């Protein structure tokens, strides 16, 4: 398959910073002696351009975290890659994540690619002062003398409105919001070109959540980094993401620029997600979707959404709808939108 290039203008083709092609990753578990595949990432292709914030949304257990882990190469059994490729382009050099040796991947993770995982605050060692975490994780990758390194760390903290005094604190002395902000400072001190964050604001209250999101957006703008951002919270995508991909049961079902997605979503599942957002002054009851998300160990054939879909046709239970471009930067996988195959 050819690399999907992102057209920014009619004449300029910009090489994406991230290109994911036909990615499949399953958890293989054993039950009563029989292997069972949980198809958490099932044939996903997407690109993220330089400086772009790409949001991934979808309900719980749809495969968002598995997709992120697979993209950054944080793959541990029982998760394994079944097919597809993940390529990053940093400074004109291409890195095929699955061709890299563990030490090469580790070096890229700190220098170019930062991964803020769910519960990332736990990277701060609870029995050591925070400065030790900065020294252990960041110092080996920055190629600076000690004095310059600490100057750089303090500058970075100040730029993020954090008092450099946090370096002398233990994690338990900080509030949840401060701990998360400190973790993000740690993850970005090496000025990565690509930041991946998985639900970085879950478990924080709304005010702190806003501070953390503003901080991430500021870092992304300041560094000009690309940003792959996972949250189930559509209202957060509305304020943070340039483009959003909607995942349902391990597959990408729609992808569009954020304003398009919120104004003119075409997939019935995306329409449901957008319609269920609360609106000030609107007291009408929100209609909920019937049924439950499918088991990824035994998903329905054809379109995985068809058992819950108000527009389902015969073909939807038989064939998998491909993700098709219906307008520039707008793709959708739904036969009701793109027409059934003849
Ligand atoms: N270690 C594991 N072993 C087996 N199955 C797993 C494992 N981790 C996740 N899964 C399964 O993979 C599927 C996708 O899970 P994943 O955590 O990627 O979803 P998610 O969209 O990130 O959910 P959430 O928003 O709740 O974090 C789920 O069915 C989940 O039960």
DSSP letters for 67-113: HHHHHHT---TTEEEEEEEEEEEETTEEEEGGGS-HHHHHHHHHHTE
The overall average pLDDT reported for the chain is: 89
pLDDT confidence bin for 341, thresholds 50/70/90: confident
Q: Return d(Cα 72, Cα 67) in angstroms, integer.
A: 9
Rounded to an integer, the average pLDDT of 291-315 is 94
Query: 190-200 pLDDT, tens per residue?
Result: 989 999 999 98
Q: Which of 237, 240, 303 is nearest to 267 (CA)?
A: 303
What is the predicted pLDDT for the residue at 212? Answer: 84
What is the predicted pLDDT for the residue at 160? Answer: 85
| Ligand 1 cavity residues, CB under 6 Å | 27, 29, 38, 40, 58, 60-66, 78, 232, 296
Sorted by sequence, the CB contacts under 8 Å of residue 233 that are 6+ apart come out as 57, 201
Q: Environment class of residue 156 by beta-carbon count within 10 Å: exposed (0-12), middle (13-18) or buried (19+)?
A: buried
Is the pTM higher than 0.95? The answer reads no
Rounded to an integer, the average pLDDT of 209-213 is 85
Cα(141) to ligand 1 centroid in Å equals 31
Residue 211 or 2, more confident: 211
The three state secondary structure string of 204-233 is CCHHHHHHHHHHHHHHHHHHCCEEEEECCC
Flag whether pLDDT at 2 surpasses 50: no
What is the predicted pLDDT for the residue at 285? Answer: 65
Of 31, 65, 236, 269, which is best to mutate to test ligand 1, by the most ligand atoms within 8 angstroms of its C-beta?
65
Residues 254, 332 contacting (CB under 8 angstroms): yes
- Of 26-40, 155-169, 281-295, the one with minimum mean pLDDT is 281-295
Residues 167, 129 contacting (CB under 8 angstroms): yes
Q: Where are the domains of the chain?
A: 6-112+192-278+285-338
pLDDT confidence bin for 122, thresholds 50/70/90: confident
Rounded to an integer, the average pLDDT of 257-286 is 86
What is the predicted pLDDT for the residue at 14? Answer: 62
What is the predicted pLDDT for the residue at 248? Answer: 97
Flag whether pLDDT at 278 surpasses 80: no
pLDDT confidence bin for 260, thresholds 50/70/90: very high
Q: Return d(Cα 62, Cα 252) in angstroms, integer.
A: 10
What is the predicted pLDDT for the residue at 4? Answer: 43
* Class at the top of the CATH hierarchy for domain 6-112+192-278+285-338: alpha beta
Instruction: Return phi, psi of residue 238, to 5°.
Output: -60, -30
CA 290 from chain centre, in angstroms, equals 27
Q: What percent of the chain has pLDDT over 90?
A: 65
Cα(64) to ligand 1 centroid in Å equals 8
Give the pair of three-digit tokens for residue 335.
């036969």
What is the predicted pLDDT for the residue at 272? Answer: 93
Nearest protein Cα to ligand 1, atom 24: 60
What is the predicted pLDDT for the residue at 336? Answer: 96
Flag whether pLDDT at 279 surpasses 80: no
What is the predicted pLDDT for the residue at 9? Answer: 44
Ligand 1 atom nearest to CA at 66: 18
Query: 13-65 pLDDT, tens per residue?
Result: 567 999 999 999 999 998 788 889 999 999 999 999 999 999 999 999 999 99
Q: What percent of the chain has pLDDT over 70?
A: 92
pLDDT confidence bin for 8, thresholds 50/70/90: very low
Of 27, 230, 252, which is best to mutate to test ligand 1, by the most ligand atoms within 8 angstroms of its C-beta?
27
Residue 231 or 342, more confident: 231
Interface pTM, i.e. ipTM? 0.97
Q: Return d(Cα 208, Cα 200) in angstroms, integer.
A: 11
């Amino acid at each position: 398959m050819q690399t999907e290039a992102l057209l920014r203008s009619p004449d300029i083709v910009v090489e994406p910073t991230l290109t994911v092609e036909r990615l499949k990753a399953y958890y293989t578990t054993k039950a009563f002696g029989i292997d069972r595949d949980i198809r958490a990432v099932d044939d996903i292709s997407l690109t993220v351009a330089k400086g772009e914030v790409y949001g991934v949304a979808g309900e719980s257990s749809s495969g968002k975290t598995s997709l992120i882990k697979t993209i950054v190469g944080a793959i541990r059994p029982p998760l394994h890659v079944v097919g597809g490729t993940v390529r990053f382009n940093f400074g004109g050099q291409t890195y095929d994540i699955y061709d890299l040796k563990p030490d090469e991947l580790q070096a890229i993770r700190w220098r170019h690619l930062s991964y803020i995982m769910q519960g990332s605050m736990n990277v701060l060692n609870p029995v050591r002062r925070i400065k030790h975490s900065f020294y252990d994780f960041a110092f080996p990758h920055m190629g600076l003398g000690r004095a310059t390194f600490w100057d750089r760390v303090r500058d970075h903290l100040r730029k993020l409105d954090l008092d450099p005094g946090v370096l002398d604190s233990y994690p338990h002395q900080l509030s949840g919001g401060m701990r998360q902000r400190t973790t993000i400072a740690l993850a970005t001190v090496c000025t990565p070109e690509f930041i991946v964050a998985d639900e970085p604001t879950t478990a924080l209250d709304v005010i702190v959540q806003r501070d953390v999101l503003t901080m991430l957006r500021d870092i992304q703008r300041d560094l000009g980094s690309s940003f792959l951002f996972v949250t189930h919270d559509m209202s957060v995508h509305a304020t943070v993401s340039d483009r959003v991909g909607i995942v349902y049961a391990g597959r990408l079902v729609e992808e569009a620029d954020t304003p398009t997605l919120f104004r003119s979503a075409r997939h019935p599942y995306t329409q449901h997600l957008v319609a269920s957002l609360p609106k000030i002054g609107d007291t009408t009851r929100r209609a909920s979707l019937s049924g439950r998300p499918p088991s990824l160990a035994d998903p329905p054939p054809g379109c995985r959404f068809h058992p819950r879909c108000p527009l389902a046709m015969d073909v939807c239970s038989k064939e998998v709808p491909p993700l098709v471009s219906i307008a520039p930067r707008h793709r959708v996988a739904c036969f009701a939108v793109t027409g059934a195959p003849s």
